Structure 1
Amino acid sequence: MEIPTVTTFNPTTDNKTTRWSVKGILIAGGLTLSITTTHAAEITTDPGDYVPLPAGSNLGLLYLQHASRDSVYSNGDQLPGEAGLDTHIGLARFIHYLDIGGYTVNPQVILPFGKVDLTSPFGPLEPESSTGIGDPMIGATAWLVNNPDQQQWFGLSAFASIPFGQYDSHKGPVNVGENRWKGIFQAGYVTGLSDHFMLDLIGEYAVYGDNDDFFNTRLEQNDSQSLQAHLRYLISPQTHVALSYYHAFGGETTVGGVDQDDALNTNRWQATFSTFVQPTLQLQAQYGQDIDVENGFKEDQRFNLRLAKVF
């Protein structure tokens, strides 16, 4: 199947228009519809994620995420015409904390699921929808610094995304699975600023395998990076609020050997309220949106809910 031309652009046959035609299709579908967050990071952290539980603890988490988008950008300019992309995503996550040679380590598995809707397509593309199980992730964080008394923590994380999720080549980017391997690496530092304020700083680096069945051609992607920051205010030992900032960049793609000129440069904010409704049961609610987008869909709003059970 050939990639159709996007009628938003002038239908000529030179290399520039061919590149833009493919790019328009990718942007229309959102491209990185990984189960984390479309334009923030491959693994979007929450406030407090890099503060470990004691060794021997288990943590089960259920995430529910809804995000809506109705504007698309290319090289910083909004494209004409109507377009919409909605994602309804869930994640089931299990984490176990243990001690290895005096260091806390938390092996874990993440299983995504959900639905992706391209509600207002470009040009000749029909509305597309995908539902199912996404690509599972396995990985762990190892804490090199774990000092609760001084309120300082530093951890290194590594994850692998395994291409077992639901994928249909003819839907291209409008899929829950991605049909490729990914490696995600993070470093996270947390420090106390006062009795009530905490600062979390996280850097991420992601590498991508090829998707060799993307509209019957090959999709390649350059490495991407993300910076994430959370400023938390501790209302009580059980409750906190936070303001987060996410910046993603890099990750330009090539389709069938043609560069797409679609590198990410996205900024997003998010607010969090989190509280323990029982001694071992935490409820978290979040709202956020994109600030600006260089390439791709711009999120109008995002709602996240998270339920965490310690056992």
Structure 2
Amino acid sequence: MRSTLIPTKFEPLAKFSALLFAASLFSSTAYSAEIATDPGDYTPLPAGTNLAILYGQYATRDTVYSDDDQVPGKAGLDTTIGLARFVHYMDIGGVIVDPQIIVPFGEVELTEAFGPLQPTSSSGVGDPIIGATAWFLNNPDAQEWAGLSAFVSLPVGEYDGDKGPVNIGENRWKGIFQAAYVKHLSTSVVMDLIAEYSVYGTNDDFLGMRREQEDAQSLQGHLRYLLPKQSHVALSYYHSFGGETTVAGVDQDDRVNTNRWLATYATFIDPTIQLQLQAGQDISVKNGFEEDARVNLRILKVF
């Protein structure tokens, strides 16, 4: 027997609204605003240096928030992401610049039915990111640096419009801009401060609808303690905000306001090979899935 709570003629509208609500809560996860920096990323290396970097990132989420309130019911979203990155440092007119490319790959998996969205997954190669940083302040004597970065995400990664937010690619252009300042506070303590601004193109095939997103911002901070033998520990803080979306012309009221922390240990196991291990989680989430555990591994080769 059909429920009398929703008249037959209103069922498509109710399902449509539920679908938009469920999809909007992925805003802070599958469509993250930030390029999360690591401690030391904004300390430039000499011209002619190359870096080959491989990242592995695993995160689990089983709690969802909407306007600061926890959404009842089961939820599950796991991401297993790899990043292959190549960086080249060069001198242009006395300014150190590092053109680079980042290629993401891996899997996004919705492990529990969430509203009208059924368990599903997406895997493959994501949208590559190209860009560079230019250091307009490069003072090794004072142990102080500042740089500006610009990146563009190319919409060529694996994407299935029927899966909406559960995709490894985004099916849209994205521009990401960062400004960073690095200062040694003492012989052992280093502070990194980064501000980010992101702009988004339109995804014209999001569950068969048009998805737009407002600009988003991020603040990132790292406090490093330098150890002997080219090692360090660090504590990082990330705050992402903004980026409200519109789907099929309907405002989603899903503005991101997420805070998280990350602890780092890094060491050179060889003069040219660095290993880095990180662990952390979200502190608070206004809208979207809350990350309850994150583990990152990075292998860096200098040549």
Q: Could you tell me whether the CA contact under 8 Å between 1:23 and 1:262 is conserved in 2?
A: no
1:288 aligns with 2:285: no
Amino acid at match of 1:139: G
Q: How does 1:184-195 map to 2 (within 5 A)?
A: 184-195=176-187
Cross-structure match for 1:80: 72
Q: Could you tell me whether the CA contact under 8 Å between 1:19 and 1:259 is conserved in 2?
A: no
Q: Could you tell me whether the CA contact under 8 Å between 2:159 and 2:168 is conserved in 1?
A: yes
Amino acid at match of 2:88: H
Shift in Å, 1:21: 2.3
Cross-structure match for 2:291: 299
1:170 aligns with 2:158: no
TM-score by length of 1: 0.91
Q: Could you tell me whether the CA contact under 8 Å between 2:29 and 2:288 is conserved in 1?
A: no
1:204 aligns with 2:201: no
Secondary structure (helix, strand or coil) at the match of 2:274 reads strand
Cross-structure match for 1:98: 90
For residues 47 and 139 of structure 1, the distance between their equivalents in structure 2, rounded to whole angstroms, comes to 19
Cross-structure match for 1:24: 21
Cα-to-partner distance string for 1:214-259 (whole Å, 9 max, x where unaligned): 1111000000000000000001250000000000000000000000
Amino acid at match of 1:33: A
Shift in Å, 1:111: 0.5
Secondary structure (helix, strand or coil) at the match of 1:203 reads strand
Cα-to-partner distance string for 1:28-53 (whole Å, 9 max, x where unaligned): 5456425xxx4xx4210000000011
Structure 1's 97 and 11: CA in aligned 2 closer, same or farther, altered over 3 A? farther
For residues 59 and 21 of structure 2, the distance between their equivalents in structure 1, rounded to whole angstroms, comes to 21
Amino acid at match of 2:167: N
Q: Could you tell me whether the CA contact under 8 Å between 1:30 and 1:85 is conserved in 2?
A: no
Aligned length: 296
Amino acid at match of 1:153: W
Cross-structure match for 2:235: 243
Q: How does 1:31-50 map to 2 (within 5 A)?
A: 32-34=29-31, 38=32, 41-50=33-42
For residues 19 and 85 of structure 1, the distance between their equivalents in structure 2, rounded to whole angstroms, comes to 22
Gaps of 5+ in 2: none
Structure 1's 296 and 19: CA in aligned 2 closer, same or farther, altered over 3 A? farther
Structure 1's 236 and 20: CA in aligned 2 closer, same or farther, altered over 3 A? farther
Q: How does 1:127-206 map to 2 (within 5 A)?
A: 127-206=119-198
TM-score by length of 2: 0.94
For residues 204 and 76 of structure 1, the distance between their equivalents in structure 2, rounded to whole angstroms, comes to 24
Q: How does 1:109-128 map to 2 (within 5 A)?
A: 109-128=101-120
Q: Could you tell me whether the CA contact under 8 Å between 1:271 and 1:288 is conserved in 2?
A: yes
Structure 1's 265 and 17: CA in aligned 2 closer, same or farther, altered over 3 A? farther
Cα-to-partner distance string for 1:166-197 (whole Å, 9 max, x where unaligned): 00000001000000000000001000101110
Cross-structure match for 2:206: 214
Gaps of 5+ in 1: 1-9
For residues 297 and 143 of structure 2, the distance between their equivalents in structure 1, rounded to whole angstroms, comes to 27
For residues 30 and 302 of structure 1, the distance between their equivalents in structure 2, rounded to whole angstroms, comes to 18
Structure 1's 31 and 229: CA in aligned 2 closer, same or farther, altered over 3 A? closer
Q: Could you tell me whether the CA contact under 8 Å between 2:24 and 2:245 is conserved in 1?
A: no
Identical counterparts, % of pairs? 64
Secondary structure (helix, strand or coil) at the match of 2:183 reads strand
Secondary structure (helix, strand or coil) at the match of 2:30 reads coil
For residues 151 and 240 of structure 1, the distance between their equivalents in structure 2, rounded to whole angstroms, comes to 16
Q: Could you tell me whether the CA contact under 8 Å between 1:19 and 1:260 is conserved in 2?
A: no
